[in-house]
């Protein structure tokens, strides 16, 4: 497998396929996707709902074992079932901080659990340190999720991912459930932590502006396939060539009746 994957990549995905259902109802959610992410790089996956971008993350992080293809993370080939040591290196932050936190666990319990699972000592110090890192501070330690705002919850979800000191952080729409002013805080925090800790990230988002803000390179997906990969500088120069990418780019700038008139014609019946 070493010959087929980039040895310098932190994450290398080749011909990844994920299908749901069987027979006539089978859906190819991810249909032969390949990409590689260098150490310290942030890679964006963009596309509309149902394009397979989140399914890729779920396959990468071990939440969905039903995939085929070659995936290596940190030089190690992945099998569908992951070892405990895998989760020390790869962690994920989910979209909805209202759903991803246990409502009856305090901040302290939420953060202590991964340490206990992995048999890591000095829980007390680590929890205080990570809380400061994500900008929550010690005052939040014994609160419950319902006592936190959306932005504070997402900070806690980030803290839970970082407490194991992973090398890879997978971000699934980390700000799409938040107000814009809170989104700015979380994006600043993620950029800051990534640079300080040297994290390799994959950011999944439907928002081209968020991806352009955080990432170095991105892949544009549609219907389970990777349409094109491009550096973020291509978005900044307004030079993407694929019509779908251009459509996403135009839509990210707001409403334009002239562009929309083309779109209205192509509605499926």
Q: Which residues would be at the binding site for another protein (CB under 8 A)?
A: 48-49, 150, 179-181, 183-185, 187-188, 191, 206-210, 212-215, 232, 235-236, 247-249, 251-257, 259-261, 263-264, 267-269
- In whole angstroms, the minimum distance from the beta carbon of 179 to another protein comes to 4
Nearest to another protein of 197, 249 (CB atom): 249
Cβ 207 to another protein shortest distance, Å: 8
Q: Are 167 and 199 in contact (CB under 8 A)?
A: yes
Report in angstroms how near the CB of residue 203 gets to another protein at its nearest: 12
| 183 vs 200 by CB, closer to another protein | 183
CB of 212 to another protein, least distance (A): 4
Cβ atoms of residues 107 and 143 within 8 Å: yes
Please state, in angstroms and rounded to a whole number, the distance separating the CA atoms of residues 58 and 65.
9
Closer of 139 and 264 to another protein (Cβ): 264
Phi, psi for 235 (deg, rounded to 5): -70, -40
Nearer to another protein, 77 or 253 (CB): 253
Closest CB to another protein among residues 127, 177: 177
Q: Nearest approach, Cβ of 75 to another protein (angstroms)? A: 28
Residue whose CB is less far from another protein, 123 or 251: 251
**Distance, CA of 222 to CA of 199 (rounded, Å):** 27
Q: Give the shortest CB-151-to-another protein separation in angstroms.
A: 11
């Amino acid at each position: 497998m070493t010959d087929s994957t980039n040895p310098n990549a932190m994450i290398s995905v080749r011909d990844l396929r994920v299908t749901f259902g069987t027979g006539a109802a089978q859906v190819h959610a991810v249909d032969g996707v390949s990409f590689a992410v260098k150490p310290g790089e942030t890679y964006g996956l963009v596309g509309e709902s149902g394009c397979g971008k989140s399914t890729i993350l779920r396959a990468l992080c071990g939440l969905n074992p039903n995939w085929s293809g070659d995936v290596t993370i940190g030089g190690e080939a992945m099998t569908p079932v992951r070892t405990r040591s895998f989760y020390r290196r790869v962690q994920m932050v989910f979209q909805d901080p209202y759903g991803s936190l246990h409502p009856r666990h305090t901040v302290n319990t939420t953060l202590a659990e991964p340490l206990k699972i992995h048999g890591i000592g000095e829980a007390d110090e680590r929890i205080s340190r990570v809380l400061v890192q994500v900008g929550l501070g010690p005052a939040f330690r014994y609160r419950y999720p319902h006592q936190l705002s959306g932005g504070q919850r997402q900070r806690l979800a980030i803290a839970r991912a970082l407490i194991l000191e992973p090398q890879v952080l997978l971000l699934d729409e980390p700000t799409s459930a938040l107000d814009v002013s809170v989104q700015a805080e979380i994006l600043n925090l993620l950029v800051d932590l990534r640079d300080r800790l040297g994290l390799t990230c994959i950011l999944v988002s439907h928002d081209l502006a968020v991806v352009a803000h955080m990432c170095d390179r991105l892949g544009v997906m549609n219907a389970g396939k990777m349409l094109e990969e491009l550096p973020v500088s291509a978005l900044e120069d307004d030079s993407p060539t694929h019509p779908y990418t251009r459509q996403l780019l135009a839509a990210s700038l707001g409403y334009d009746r002239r562009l929309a008139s083309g779109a209205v014609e192509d509605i499926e019946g």
